[in-house]
Amino acid sequence: MRTALFKRLEELYPQMVELRRDLHRHPELSFHEVHTPKRIADFYEKLGIPIRTEVGGRGVVAVLEGALPGKTVALRADFDALPINDEKDVPYKSTVPGVMHACGHDGHTSTLLHLAKALNEQRDQLAGRVVFIHQFAEEITPGGAKPMIEDGCLDGVDVLFGTHLWSGFPTGTVAYKTGRIMAAADSFEIVVKGRGGHGGIPHEAVDSIVIASQLVSQLQQIVSRFIDPGHTAVLSIGSFHAGLAFNVISETATLKGTVRTFDREVREKIITLMERMIKGTCESSGADYRFTYDRGYPPVVNHEKETMMLKEAAQRVANVKNVVETEALMVGEDVAYYLEKVPGTFFLTGSGNKEQSSTYPHHHPMFDIDEKAMLIAAQTLGEATLSYLDQHRYEAEEVKS
Catalytic residues: 80, 138
Q: What is the DSSP string of 309-362?
A: HHHHHHHT-TT--EEEEPPPBS---THHHHHHHS-EEEEEEEEE-GGGT--SPT
- How crowded is residue 44: how many other Cβ atoms within 10 Å of its Cβ? 23
- Cα three-residue angle 376-315-75, rounded to 5 degrees: 50
Distance CA 209, CA 368 (A): 37
To 10 degrees, what angle do helices 105-120 and 35-47 make? 10
Query: Which residues, listed in sequence order, are joined to residue 134 by a DSSP beta bridge?
Result: 60, 77
Strands lying side by side in the sheet with 59-65: 51-55, 59-65, 127-135, 68-78, 159-170, 344-352, 173-176, 322-325
Element (H, E) at 70: strand 68-78
Q: What is the DSSP string of 2-54?
A: HHHHHHHHHHHHHHHHHHHHHHHHS--BTT--SHHHHHHHHHHHHHT--EEEE
